Amino acid sequence: MRRRLLAWYRHHRRDLPWRTDPTPYAVWVSEIMLQQTTVTAAVPFYERWMKRFPTLRDLAAADEEDVLRLWAGLGYYNRARNLHRAAMQIVSEGDGEIPHTVTDLMDLPGIGRYTAGAIASIAFGERVPVVDANVARVLARFFAVREEVSTADGQRILWDHAEDLTQTNNPGDLNQALMELGALVCTPTSPRCDICPIQPLCRAAQRGDMHRYPVLRERPEAVEVTEVGAAVERKGRFLILRRPKSGRMAGMWEFPHGPLRGGEPAETVAPMVKSLTGLDIHIDEPLRTIEYTFTHHQITLHVWRARATGGRVHRRSHDAHRWVALRDLMSRPMATAQRRIVEALMESAGGRQLDLLELGEESEESAPI
């Protein structure tokens, strides 16, 4: 199996930027970005990141908001925060060198067994395994693992098999071959067994029951949530709020929004904004309806364009606010759903777009309207 995998990988591996020069830092950044993100989506973010933070010390010296701004659009923002914190920890507590061993790597924020194994094997040649979703699928089919792969028993079996396989002179390539095979050939719904290099040895393929593996836990149904929000304008600038440094979407900027609490969405926007910010507003027009998924929630966010007409900004659940010109909104670290509100504002500006884009610096004023 090792020989077949390594031979296949040498001929079929994708040309990815972090494989060109697999430094420990490059491997680390790429592996964090690839958590919950496809390779296609991650590549442009990786390239921008490495241009802005080419070394670990550059990252450690950066401001967190700058880090989040570069990450905006990738989601799961704790990944970026943990990268930043780990870089600062390495520089402050050590000599600026990324640890070589799985044990030491797992002492860093945001690095678990999989990421530690990937860095140690690919960057340092350590004979340690990795098991992500792709690897779990390959191994579960190859060895016909009957246990549910997310259980303790299932995980133990998969990691034991992976550990056996990495006892080779090329553990990094072996691990990447397993990941690549799962991504390109041994796919979740339509495995391409006819071109698989290990098909003659695969137990599931021999039995013709590839779709029985891996055994997965049934996913809970998504909870549907309706929210209302407003792009509140004052003197050509828009109000955005920054979430606290801990909790969901920590440190990210957003427009005022909240869950629908009875009644029609259009009737609840102004009371929501008043409760959240202390401002009185006039609703101008619907701006956009945005649908997105967050954990097990399917969220529908109805957003209106509005004007501030009175009151003074207070912040009950946020730690900062700004009145920001349209041209500067995209430079703020925002979740994807919030960035879509900015896109809608730019699309709807029409004849006023040039004026809005040319407005000057942001303001933190909280004086009465």
Which residues, in sequence order, are CB contacts of 7 under 8 Å at separation 6+? 197
Contact 304, 269 (CB under 8 A): yes
**β strands within the chain, DSSP E:** 223-234, 237-242, 253-254, 257-259, 279-294, 297-311, 320-325
Cβ atoms within 10 Å of 216's Cβ, excluding its own: 14
Residue 44 token pair: 């442009």
Q: What are phi and psi of 213, to 5 degrees?
A: -125, 150
Q: Could you give the 3-state DSSP secondary structure of residue 108?
A: coil
Given a contact cutoff of 8 angstroms between Cβ atoms, the answer to whether 268 and 261 are in contact is: yes
Q: Is 31 noted as a catalytic residue in this protein?
A: yes
For the four alpha carbons of 11, 12, 17 and 19, in that order, the dihedral sign comes to negative
CB 172, CB 122: distance < 8 Å: yes
Q: Which residues are catalytic?
A: 31
